[in-house]
Structure 1
Amino acid sequence: MERCWYSGRYPNMAYCQFEVTHWPVEHYGYFYNGDSYIVLNTFKDPGSGELLYDVHLWIGLESTPDEYGTAKYKTDELCVLLQNKPVQHREVMDHESALFRSYFHTIRKLEGGADSGFNRTKPSEPEYKTRLFHFKGSGRKIEVREVALNKQSLDDSDVFILDAGLNIIQWNGTTSNAFEKNAGRDFLGKLKSERNGKATTETVDAPVPDDHPFMKALPGGALEIETEEEDKSPPSMHRVSDATGTMEFRQIAVGKLSRSKLDTDDVFVVDTTKELFVWIGRGASIDERRNSLTYAHNYLMATSHPFIPVTVVQEGAETKNLLAALT
């Protein structure tokens, strides 16, 4: 696939195959791990009333380099169309920033790509792929993701829904909270509505017997669980400059980062290890500006924290998080 999905508050979501196509409103918050997306948030400055923008490039963990590259190109086109006003952000699946998460009441992360996701075997057909969804979170922020169809996927503190086509079952863990249960109930109703009311639904509270249809649909083999090692790398600052006639990317500080090192004529990459900022000076060249996010992305891919959020900011429009990282 060669895809990118666009997506104001609520974000304008869209999908493109080397072109911009709007993502259906009813699917806002749906993200497939095999695709890349663009989410545009439009809002008014409370003081001046001027329209401002945040544009987020979301990358699925199974999205290809071609997809990411196309989405990046389309993001740049969008920023030029909006007179370079948007603040750009890079978001990687499962490592989204708090700002990105704030746009959606529920984020649904699904396996595959949008084409396969919306052209599945009909629920009434024997070949329909049974799926298991995991609901986790609290308050107004619930994350829903498709997980392995396996008993080992169950967590007694959360809610799960088994989608077997015309038979849909919600399983409430013994310590799951009311927000997760309500989100599951809403999802259950949506699935039934999509199937013209023909599906039967059931809600059960754990524990349930092994001969219950919910448990019988789940194999019991062990699952591989990946664990992340603690990242102990120090903060760092890097300069992107073509002052010598050749584009160069080099480290200029480690540990304690000083705002005085920022030079209006160049671009700087500030890595806090929790979030990365691309600072663009007013006098930075066109090539420095165009290549800044690519350099930042390539740099992160060689670190022990490759998936942290990335924010591109212009000189004079620094975010609170960036200013807090600089002395």
Structure 2
Amino acid sequence: MFLYVSGLRKAKKYDWKDSNMALFGSDTDRKVKKESAMEEPAWQGAGQAPGIKIWRIVKFKVTDWPKEDYGRFYNGDSYIILNTYVEEGGDELLHDVHFWIGKNSTQDEYGTAAYKTVELDTFLDDKPVQHRETEGHESDMFKSYFETITTMKGGADTGFRRVQPEEYKARLLKFCGTGKNIKVTEVPTAWSSLNSDDVFIFDLGRELYQVNGQNATKDERFKALQYLQKLKADNKGKSEVLDLEEDENNKGSFKKCQELSALKDDRDDDDDEDDDEVDESGSERSLFRISDESGHLEFTQIASGKLEKSMLNSKDVFLVDNVTHLFIWTGKEASIDERRNAFAYAHKHLQGSKHPFIPVTCLTETSKPVKEFEDAFN
């Protein structure tokens, strides 16, 4: 599904993990002026009413993402997502702004997304809570915005729009999970991608096949059926739909199906590997302090295991790592240098951890309470 051009290579998977993301929260970021934010066309009208707004980064520019594609993301791209809401009984507009990094997004794309997230925060008078999301490891808050999150291979230039049958490139989508947490991911169009535990949709444009593994859950089956009907509607009802069940007495019997004959024997060498899992083994909650009280910046671990909120103080910045989510907590009296370098320290810490892809959320001492942050101290 990737578009290859002579002399260019597909971005390394999670190349950002090994790179320097110090621009986020650095001097360069903080020099973004209110006037500059006001001149960004994409921000005009943003955050003025409750709802979700999504932009994609294209060649250093912020571009609108079509509403009909909300919840659909390409793993070769980076996006900015703004959620504006009003709390029950209140009238003030509140905001959460996320930048989402696809596994194969380029440094230019995710760097611009991080930079522009700060700019959007400036545009909205520093009211938003900022979050970093990575493909496959999205926070519960982020996932709550969409009925389904679908991750597709390639970049948005490949398009979700329907095309002529002779031009259509087949896609194989995997539905995996339970309850509301059904993850939809494009996987290589190969026999080895199928398994007995999940549900798949084989999308050939004019033909749509729901492929049910014998151990698939009813939630996976139902979500796939809903998705199938939407695909059919996108194609104006012209697609033929067929259900395929794995033989309970013959595991892997899909290979006998003529309908799946277009699948390759195996994955190509450049096909994506499975998602990186968060490794929680041997890990425990930890608390770090960023302080320049000594005259220069120091990054120090001050606790692990059981954490107490009394360990935080207004004069410094702290990283709270609960293994599945990292929080940057900024005291109201923290210095400019401490604030500027917080995300760089967070990134470096995660690089050396067993869970580098977990969500990151930036909070201030005066931010509204966040349950997962509060739970880290219980």
Interval containing the TM-score (normalised by the shorter chain) = 0.7 to 0.9
Task: Tell me what 2:190 maps to.
Answer: 150
When normalised by structure 2's length, the TM-score is: 0.76
Q: 1:212 aligns with which of 233, 249, 257?
A: 257
**Which shows bigger deviation, 75-84 or 239-248?**
239-248
One-letter code of the match for 2:94? L
In structure 2, the CA distance between the partners of 1:252 and 1:139, relative to structure 1 (3 Å rule), is: closer
Alpha-carbon separation, structure 2, partners of 1:134 and 1:301? 29
Cα RMSD after superposing both structures: 2.9
Is the Cα–Cα contact under 8 Å of residues 162 and 214 in structure 1 kept in the other structure? no
Q: 2:91 aligns with which of 33, 36, 49?
A: 49
Alpha-carbon separation, structure 1, partners of 2:226 and 2:337? 48
**Which shows bigger deviation, 57-66 or 208-217?**
208-217
Structure 2: runs of 5+ lacking an equivalent: 1-9, 12-41, 248-252
In structure 2, the CA distance between the partners of 1:68 and 1:231, relative to structure 1 (3 Å rule), is: farther
For each residue in 1:27-84, what CA deviation from the matched residue of structure 2 results, as whole angstroms up to 9, or x when unmatched?
A: 0000111111222111112243221111222111112222221111111111111221
Alpha-carbon separation, structure 1, partners of 2:181 and 2:51? 15
Is the Cα–Cα contact under 8 Å of residues 135 and 159 in structure 1 kept in the other structure? yes
Pairing 1:20-59 to 2, within 5 Å after superposition: 20-59=62-101
Task: Tell me what 2:150 maps to.
Answer: 108
The 3-state SS of whatever aligns with 2:184 is strand
Pairing 1:129-148 to 2, within 5 Å after superposition: 129-148=169-188
For each residue in 1:224-252, what CA deviation from the matched residue of structure 2 results, as whole angstroms up to 9, or x when unmatched?
A: 76885553133222222334454332322
Shift of 1:123: 4.0
- What percentage of residue pairs aligned between the two structures are identical? 46
Find out whether 1:249 has 2:299 as its counterpart: yes
Alpha-carbon separation, structure 1, partners of 2:211 and 2:88? 44
Is the Cα–Cα contact under 8 Å of residues 191 and 264 in structure 2 kept in the other structure? yes
Structure 1: runs of 5+ lacking an equivalent: none
Task: Tell me what 2:24 maps to.
Answer: none
Q: 1 or 2, which has the higher strand percentage?
A: 1
For each residue in 1:275-327, what CA deviation from the matched residue of structure 2 results, as whole angstroms up to 9, or x when unmatched?
A: 11100110122333233223212221121110112111110334222222226
Shift of 1:10: 4.8
Task: Tell me what 1:171 maps to.
Answer: 211
**Which shows bigger deviation, 208-217 or 306-315?**
208-217
Alpha-carbon separation, structure 2, partners of 1:27 and 1:69? 23
Find runs of 4+ consecutive structure 1 residues off by over 6 angstroms.
5-9, 222-227
Q: Aligned residue pairs: how many?
A: 323
Alpha-carbon separation, structure 2, partners of 1:288 and 1:209? 57
The 3-state SS of whatever aligns with 1:182 is helix
Find out whether 1:234 has 2:234 as its counterpart: no
For each residue in 1:68-112, what CA deviation from the matched residue of structure 2 results, as whole angstroms up to 9, or x when unmatched?
A: 211111111111112211112211111111111111111101111
Alpha-carbon separation, structure 2, partners of 1:69 and 1:225? 24
The 3-state SS of whatever aligns with 2:314 is coil
Alpha-carbon separation, structure 2, partners of 1:27 and 1:226? 22
Greater relative contact order (CA < 8 Å, ≥ 6 in sequence): 2
The 3-state SS of whatever aligns with 1:160 is strand
Task: Tell me what 1:308 maps to.
Answer: 358
Task: Tell me what 2:18 maps to.
Answer: none
Q: 2:121 aligns with which of 62, 65, 79?
A: 79
The 3-state SS of whatever aligns with 2:344 is helix
Find out whether 1:182 has 2:227 as its counterpart: no
Find out whether 1:323 has 2:350 as its counterpart: no
The 3-state SS of whatever aligns with 1:94 is coil
Shift of 1:118: 4.5
Task: Tell me what 2:131 maps to.
Answer: 89
The 3-state SS of whatever aligns with 1:40 is strand
Task: Tell me what 1:275 maps to.
Answer: 325
Q: 1:67 aligns with which of 94, 109, 115?
A: 109
